[in-house]
């Protein structure tokens, strides 16, 4: 092929070939990483003794009428204190999440937090929703 007179065209543009090589390299790396994570193993069986795993979180929900539920069970403040004290005797460091309705009176939430503080539970969280943009 002749370009601009009698000078032969001897330059080859390798940019598209390098782009293809880089794309193939990235695909190879991603597929290799994905296949390593999916390796199947036969896990050993654990004993039925209590494990050292993180204890289950207890959820205390306060509805807009001031009703209190521990996990899904409706309870009074006195029952809540007894149940949490019993749980603390079994597992001293267990987390508690307090979920209050946005229309709940502040006093109802403070009553629950007061019970949690009297028992000596230190891992307390307050559940919220992120704001909609």
Q: Is residue 28 part of a domain?
A: no
- Residues contacting 2, CB < 8 A, separation 6+: 8, 9
- Enter the tokens of residue 130: 């992120």
For residue 53, the model assigns a pLDDT of 57
Q: Is residue 10 part of a domain?
A: no
| Domain span holding position 120 | 58-126
Q: What is the tally of structural domains in the chain?
A: 1
CATH number of the domain where residue 94 is located: 3.30.420.270
Which residue, 126, 120, 118, 73, is CA-closest to 98? 126
For residue 90, the model assigns a pLDDT of 86
For residue 69, the model assigns a pLDDT of 87
Q: Is residue 67 part of a domain?
A: yes
Q: How many residues are there in the chain?
A: 133
DSSP letters spanning 54-71: PPPPEEEEE-TT--EEET
Residues of the chain with pLDDT under 50: 2
For residue 57, the model assigns a pLDDT of 82
For residue 54, the model assigns a pLDDT of 60
For residue 61, the model assigns a pLDDT of 87
For residue 40, the model assigns a pLDDT of 60
Q: Is residue 75 part of a domain?
A: yes
For residue 37, the model assigns a pLDDT of 52
- Residue in the block written with tokens 């559940």: 127
Query: What letter does residue 54 receive in the DSSP assignment?
Result: P
């Amino acid at each position: 092929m002749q370009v601009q007179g009698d000078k032969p065209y001897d330059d080859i543009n390798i940019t598209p070939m390098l782009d293809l090589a880089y794309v193939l390299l990235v695909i190879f790396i991603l597929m290799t990483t994905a296949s390593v994570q999916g390796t199947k193993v036969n896990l050993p069986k654990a004993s039925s003794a209590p494990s050292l795993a993180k204890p289950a979180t207890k959820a205390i929900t306060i509805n807009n009428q001031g009703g209190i539920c521990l996990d899904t069970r409706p309870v009074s403040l006195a029952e809540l204190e007894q149940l949490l004290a019993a749980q603390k005797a079994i597992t001293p460091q267990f987390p508690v999440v307090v979920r209050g309705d946005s229309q709940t009176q502040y006093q109802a939430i403070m009553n629950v937090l007061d019970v949690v503080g009297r028992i000596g539970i230190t891992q307390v969280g307050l559940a919220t929703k992120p704001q909609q943009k």
